[in-house]
Amino acid sequence: MQTQPWSSVDHYENFPVASWLVPSHLRPAVAALYRFARTADDIADEGSHSADERRHQLARLDQALCSPSANDPEVVVRLRPFIAEHALPVDQLRALLDAFAQDVHVSRYPNRESLLDYCRRSANPIGRLLLRLFGADSDSNMRLSDHICSALQLINFLQDVGVDWQKGRVYLPQDTLGECESSDRDIQRAAEGQPLSQPLARALAHELTFARKMLIAGAPLVRSVPWRLSLELRAIIAGGQRV
């Protein structure tokens, strides 16, 4: 891992929105899913709204998913036909919203288990929804997809430590930092452009090793999905392994 891992590959940039590997008949649905996820993520992250206003906007999206009305946000209105056409599981969309709402009020994670629980809602639904679109959402495929999506999310956190610090968040397990004799102060210094401390470098390397193992654990998925999705996954997995 490089000593200055602050150049991010956003988790949603792994979303194959315009890729020729996505069949043309699925691209509108994939684009609608991307817009929904990106909009919700931006509500949690961008702008100057208060925490209460962010939670209110996310709650509006959730309400629109559950109980359609005339004043629903456009991003949900555009997604709704694809939910019906492909029987997309609404609980996975709601899980995304729950994770983004958590971003509004949770800024630290005590251990890896709590961070993986966040990934279960912020990352894994993306893979499950895409598998559904491709008609490849068997239980075994979804388990493998969960490994890949969580691993990519963890790798993204490691790349984005400095960016997340500026947002007041740390997505490194606090117990890992402690075991490596590191702290938030080391992250702050690195985010300010100072060299990585050895303790922080150890913590990052420790978490990267775990994420890579998880990515490899999910790799067999490439052999059990349609060839277009398989090629897309191979490229994404290769990118994650290069970090």
Could you read off the pLDDT of 201-226 as tens digits, one per residue?
999 999 999 999 999 999 999 999 99
Distance CA 105, CA 70 (A): 30
Walking along the chain (243 residues) 10 residues at a time, the average pLDDT comes out as 35 55 91 95 88 96 95 96 98 98 96 98 96 97 97 96 95 98 97 96 98 97 94 89 81
pLDDT of residue 3: 35
pLDDT of residue 22: 86
- List Cα–Cα distances, 3 to 13, 129, 206, in angstroms: 23, 35, 14
pTM summary value: 0.90
Does residue 40 contact residue 56 with C-beta atoms inside 8 Å?
A: no
Q: Which CATH superfamily is domain 11-241 in?
A: Farnesyl Diphosphate Synthase (1.10.600.10)
pLDDT of residue 98: 98
* Those residues with Cβ within 8 angstroms of residue 175's Cβ, 6 or more apart along the chain or in another chain: 110, 111, 112
